[in-house]
Amino acid sequence: MTKPAAPDTATRSHLIAWRNALFVIFTLSGLSIASWVSRLPAVRDELGLDTSAVGLMILGLSFGAILGLVVAPQFLARLGPRGAVILSLSLNGIGIGGAGISAAVMPDPVLATVFLAVLGLGNGSLDVTMNVEGAAAERAIGRTLLPLMHAFFSLGTVLGALIGAGASALDIPVSWHLVAMAVLILLTGIAVVRFIPHEVDTEDPSTSAKTPFTARVREGLAVWADSRLLLIGLIMLGMAFAEGSANDWIALATVDGHNQSNTTGALMFGVFVVAMTIGRVAGGPILDRLGRVPVLRWSALIGAIGLLIFILTPALWSAMLGAALWGIGSSLGFPVGISAASDDPKTAAARVSAVAIIGYVAFLAGPPLLGFLGQHFGILNALYVVLALLILAALAAPAARELTGRFARRTS
């Protein structure tokens, strides 16, 4: 990871430029994924796929993302933060543009799946790199920033969805739209990456080019023996499961479980994502004032209460209240888990990779598990699994306690 310039040696303008560049990169990450997702129906129609075939194609994206999380420390070691960001964004661009071309210009489901795996590889590696840099910026600036950075990721997904909806409404071909987005994302990344420090902290064995490859792999695996990291991973598991389950199932649960229309289901999802974005924007100052442990406990509690209201209420207005509390409660788990994993800069990249993998496993395993349970017990009853995981996340919250001297903050 980078060795951030200390506040007493770096000018404030350099630190602010670094922070703002990361805001843009988080936005580009969200934009890249949402650009693809927004045109998925058109891609399905172009390729003539059924639902199961679409699922298999998306599985390529998921496996690529897991691989990206694993190799990200090696990218950082060989290329440094700037090079790793550009490589990751380049892979994103190749994946997005290639998926569009393989769907509309030379239709081939297998080729589209390969390009989606490339997109997943790029976004997975970018996920680790930008979060490691975000944690380094936090330490250098002396303020909690990762929740706000993840809010910019959410903003990117909103922008991607709106642009995709506009392109669809204007009948812009999938290939033109996705290739244009790929070029935009890469050029924007090249423009802002120069504001990211290029130094690599050679004290971190997992990201030092001077360390033999096999040694870097051993260091990366060694972090999994850390009990504190595994408990942070449990927090990530519960919170990521809560976020992912809403992304995948809240609209359908509104329609099937609460007997509402498809439009109302979409509005319910909108309530959730708006609440989550608000929680991430407001989260930094709250974390600086109260500290991670009480914030995580209250977040898990608020999320659990909201989820319980959503499951049990017969009224639409209270279901929306439950969805809002569910979103607020889920908003800080992922960024705070990343921040906690990054406390020790000597092993930050390997630790961030590890907890990100746990979070991604929740995103991947959650939808089919809830779908299986929902098929047999009803989708609302299936959500009790999420409730149990939120309670476990609350119990594991002390593992995320700040290390002494991380940066000055008031804690309770």
Question: pLDDT over 90 for what percent of the chain?
Answer: 20
pLDDT score of 110 more than 90: no
**Same-domain status, 360 and 290:** yes
- For residues 338-354, average pLDDT: 74
pLDDT score of 241 more than 50: yes
The string of pLDDT tens digits covering residues 180-217 is: 999 999 999 999 998 988 665 444 555 555 555 565 55
In a domain, 323, yes or no: yes
**Same-domain status, 181 and 317:** no
**Same-domain status, 121 and 244:** no
Q: How far is CA 9 from CA 4, 14, 33, 344, 408, in A?
A: 10, 10, 37, 21, 18
Average pLDDT, the chain: 80
The answer to whether 76 touches 129, Cβ cutoff 8 Å, is yes
Residue 154: pLDDT band with limits 50, 70, 90:
confident
Alpha carbon distance 115, 100 (integer Å): 9
Residue 390: pLDDT band with limits 50, 70, 90:
very high
Q: How many structural domains are present in the chain?
A: 2
**Same-domain status, 181 and 33:** yes
**Same-domain status, 63 and 147:** yes
Q: How far is CA 251 from CA 59, 70, 255, 380, in A?
A: 22, 32, 6, 11
Please identify, among 200, 230, 259, the residue that sits at the C-terminal boundary of a domain: 200
**Same-domain status, 48 and 178:** yes
- Burial level of 83, CB count in 10 A (0-12/13-18/19+)? middle
**Same-domain status, 158 and 236:** no
**Same-domain status, 113 and 227:** no
In a domain, 214, yes or no: no
pLDDT score at 306: 94
In a domain, 17, yes or no: yes
pLDDT score of 115 more than 60: yes
- For residues 158-169, average pLDDT: 80
pTM of the model: 0.71
In a domain, 308, yes or no: yes
The boundaries of the domain holding residue 137 are: 1-200
- For residues 149-159, average pLDDT: 85
Residue 55: pLDDT band with limits 50, 70, 90:
low
**Same-domain status, 165 and 228:** no
pLDDT score of 178 more than 80: yes
The answer to whether 319 touches 301, Cβ cutoff 8 Å, is no
- Burial level of 20, CB count in 10 A (0-12/13-18/19+)? middle
In a domain, 157, yes or no: yes
pLDDT score at 59: 73
Least confident of 124-128, 153-157, 168-172, 368-372: 368-372
In a domain, 211, yes or no: no
The string of pLDDT tens digits covering residues 75-103 is: 888 888 899 999 999 999 999 988 888 87
**Same-domain status, 173 and 292:** no
Greater pLDDT, 60 or 122: 122
**Same-domain status, 109 and 229:** no
In a domain, 287, yes or no: yes
Least confident of 12-21, 218-227, 383-392: 218-227
pLDDT score at 409: 42
- For residues 226-252, average pLDDT: 79
Residue 7: pLDDT band with limits 50, 70, 90:
very low
DSSP 144: -
pLDDT score of 235 more than 50: yes
Helix residue spans in 342-397 (DSSP H): 348-377, 379-382, 384-396
pLDDT score at 324: 94
DSSP character string of 25-36: HHHHHHHHHHHH
DSSP 171: T
pLDDT score at 213: 54
Question: pLDDT over 70 for what percent of the chain?
Answer: 82
In a domain, 35, yes or no: yes
pLDDT score at 54: 67
pLDDT score at 408: 44
- For residues 356-373, average pLDDT: 72
Distance of CA 214 to the CA centre of its chain: 28
Q: How far is CA 369 from CA 39, 55, 246, 359, 373, in A?
A: 26, 14, 13, 15, 6
pLDDT score at 217: 56
pLDDT score at 345: 67
Least confident of 93-107, 129-143, 366-380: 366-380
Residue 33, domain CATH: 1.20.1250.20
**Same-domain status, 224 and 190:** no
pLDDT score of 318 more than 90: yes
